[in-house]
Every structure is written in C-alpha cells, then in structure tokens.
C-alpha cells in the first residue's frame, strides 16, 4: 500500500473559539465532509468515519517547554523521542544533537526496497546557499539528503515532477521573482500531489506556510490559507487511489489554531487518516503521540 504523508507545520487541535481559532470560523467543505460535519478542533478526536479517521497526538512528549520544529519533525521521522533524549525541545533548524538522529535513521533510510521521496521542489538559490554554508537544511530535507535521496529542483517543478512549498507556484513568482514559474490552481495542485504520490510507495510533502500564518496572528490570512489547503485537499481526494493508498495529514506542534499567541502551543496535533478502514485501524492502533507516526508508516509500507 502506498502512503502519502502531507506534513502541515504548526497545526494543533485548539479550543472551538472563533475569536482565536481560524478552524472555528472557516468553512472547509472537503475536510468537514471527511469528518462528517465536524470541525478540526479539540474534542472531536478520536473520530472514525466512513472515509476518514482523526486522532489527537501528543507533541510535548513529556518534555517541559513548548514543542519546536526540529525536534518535533525528527520525532515524526525517526520514531524516537528526540526532545527527551536530547534534553529539550529545539528549533527551528536542527542543532548537531538533533541532526545526528536525522543522519542515522529515518523513514527515508528504512524504505527497505520501497520507493520514496520528498515531493517539494527547491529553487536553485536554495542549493547554492546550502553549498556555500549560508543556509542549513531544516529537518525534513536534511533527513532526505542523509538517506541518499535527491531533493527535487526548479527543473523538476517546471517539468511537473514536483510542487512548490505553497502548492501553486505563486510564491516562486511573487517572492522569488521567478515569473515564468508554472502556476496551478489549488485543485490542480491536489491532482498533481496524487499523481506524484502514486508513482512511489512513500511520499512526503512539507507545507510550512501554516506555521508562518500562526506566528503572524492575522485571522484573515489564516482563514484564506486554510481555504486554499482545503481546495488542494479536494483536488487530491478526487484522484487519490483508495484502497491502494493511505493519506496521512499530521503536524509537529500547534500554532495556527491559537492566534492569541505568536508562540507555538502545547495543544495536541491532528493525525488525519483517509483510506481503507482496515489500514486506518492498523495505522492508529496504539498511536498516542508523534513518535508513533514513523513505526505506523513502516507497518503499512511493509505489512
């Protein structure tokens, strides 16, 4: 069975309060249909419906302080309680201690004959900055490269073999000044996600604008972003192969669900599963925190 992991940075399950939680006021037809009328807020999980399941996972992992991206993503990718073992939550980029976990054993290292990779494209200037030492990888691309897998490039994006970090390519045009970047609608981006994910056994797509929107504390921006994500989800679900594939949507820590703070939150994070009910039950068995994500993916891939 194929697995597509749609990683949404900085998304937690917050209280159902429209003044601070954009999930409490935004209309998300595709997500709400999956959840059979429920919103993505605290108290809904655990939910097991006809097509989807929702779990609430602990991202704090018994460590004081607020969860951070580097240790949270390392826990997601390795199955190890990285913040506990290193002594603290850390981020946004991996320090040497966290990097060691990403270098020696992640999902990407343990494909064991299965095909897999990251679906994001990176512009040429990113590779140049990494090579020069002006920039360092965040946790997910570091894990990919340390497993000997390539990061997809601008050439891949232009050829339809990858997606930009904002799904549609608009950011490459507007922020990077690459005005010939091909543009996709949100629906087309969902179709492309499905197409690319069905070409390999395990695919991961990293979406970080959700975390930036949380830090920005702008309700209108957050609502618009969630509407865009839902449109992508709608396109993806139109073409995603069930029961041959399992779609996983999960996060590393909370943020966007509480715009009353610029900081991350201690809220549980969602684990949304879409696919065959038996696969969803197998995946969710005993799953209580983000350290269980990697072992659950491996069970599905190698089961």
Tell me how many domains the chain contains: 1
pLDDT value of residue 303: 80
Question: Mean pLDDT over residues 161-180, rounded?
Answer: 96
Distance of CA 158 to the CA centre of its chain: 23
pLDDT value of residue 244: 78
pLDDT value of residue 29: 98
102-113 pLDDT, tens digit each: 999 999 999 999
What phi and psi, each to the nearest 5 degrees, are found at residue 62? 75, 15
Q: Is the Cβ–Cβ distance between 56 and 257 less than 8 Å?
A: no
N residues, the chain: 303
**How crowded is the C-beta side of 51, counted as CA atoms within 13 Å?**
13
What's the Rg (C-alpha) of the chain? 18
b/e 187-213 (16+ beta carbons within 10 angstroms → b): ebbbbbbbebbbebbbbbbbbbbbbeb
Taking 90 as the threshold, does the pLDDT of residue 240 lie above it? Answer: no
Number of Cβ atoms within 10 Å of the Cβ of 137 = 19
pLDDT value of residue 243: 72
CATH code for position 147: 3.40.720.10
Taking 80 as the threshold, does the pLDDT of residue 293 lie above it? Answer: yes
C-alpha angle with apex 235: 142 to 47, nearest 5 degrees?
80
Distance of CA 47 to the CA centre of its chain: 20
Contacts of 191 (CB under 8 A, 6+ apart): 235, 236, 238, 239
Classify strands 152-153 and 121-122 as parallel, antiparallel or unpaired.
parallel
Q: How far is CA 52 from CA 9, 67, 205, 249, 293, in A?
A: 21, 27, 19, 11, 17
- pTM, whole model, 2 decimals? 0.97
201-225 pLDDT, tens digit each: 999 999 999 999 999 999 999 999 9
Taking 80 as the threshold, does the pLDDT of residue 242 lie above it? Answer: no
Task: Please state, in angstroms and rounded to a whole number, the distance separating the CA atoms of residues 295 and 287.
Answer: 10
Q: How far is CA 89 from CA 60, 81, 150, 202, 280, in A?
A: 8, 10, 28, 27, 29
pLDDT value of residue 86: 98
265 falls in which pLDDT band (50, 70, 90)? very high
Taking 90 as the threshold, does the pLDDT of residue 241 lie above it? Answer: no
Q: What is the mean pLDDT of the chain?
A: 97
Taking 90 as the threshold, does the pLDDT of residue 51 lie above it? Answer: yes
Percent of the chain with pLDDT over 70: 100
174 falls in which pLDDT band (50, 70, 90)? very high
C-alpha angle with apex 42: 206 to 93, nearest 5 degrees?
30
Give the tokens for residue 246: 């399992």
Q: Is the Cβ–Cβ distance between 204 and 118 less than 8 Å?
A: yes
Domain span at 88: 2-302
69-99 pLDDT, tens digit each: 999 999 999 999 999 999 999 999 999 999 9
Percent of the chain with pLDDT over 90: 98
31-40 pLDDT, tens digit each: 999 999 999 9
Give the tokens for residue 140: 């997910």
């Amino acid at each position: 069975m194929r697995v597509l992991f749609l990683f949404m940075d900085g998304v937690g399950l917050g209280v159902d309060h429209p003044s601070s939680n954009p999930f409490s006021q935004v209309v998300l037809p595709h997500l709400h249909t999956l959840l059979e009328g429920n919103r993505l807020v605290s108290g809904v999980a655990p939910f097991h419906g006809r097509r989807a399941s929702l779990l609430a996972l602990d991202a704090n992992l018994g460590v004081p302080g607020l969860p951070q991206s580097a240790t949270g993503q390392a826990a997601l990718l390795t199955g190890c309680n990285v913040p506990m073992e290193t002594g603290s939550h850390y981020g946004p980029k991996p320090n040497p201690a966290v990097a060691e976990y990403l270098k020696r054993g992640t999902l990407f290292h343990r494909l064991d004959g299965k095909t897999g990779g990251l679906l994001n494209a990176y512009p040429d200037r990113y590779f140049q900055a990494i090579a020069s030492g002006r920039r360092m990888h965040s946790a997910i691309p570091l894990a990919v490269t340390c497993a000997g897998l390539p990061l997809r490039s601008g050439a891949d994006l232009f050829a339809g073999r990858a997606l930009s970090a904002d799904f549609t390519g608009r950011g490459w045009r507007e922020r990077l000044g690459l005005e010939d970047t091909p543009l996709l609608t949100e629906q087309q981006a969902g179709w492309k996600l499905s197409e690319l994910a069905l070409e390999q056994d395990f695919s991961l797509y990293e979406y970080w604008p959700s975390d930036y929107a949380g830090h920005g504390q702008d309700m209108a921006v957050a609502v618009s972003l969630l509407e865009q994500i839902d449109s992508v989800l709608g396109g993806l679900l139109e073409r995603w192969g069930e029961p041959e594939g399992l779609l996983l949507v999960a996060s590393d820590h909370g943020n966007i669900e509480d715009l009353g703070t610029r900081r991350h939150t201690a809220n549980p994070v969602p684990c949304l599963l879409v696919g065959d009910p038996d696969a969803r039950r197998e995946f969710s068995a005993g799953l209580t925190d983000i350290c269980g994500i990697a072992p659950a993916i491996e069970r599905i891939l190698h089961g």
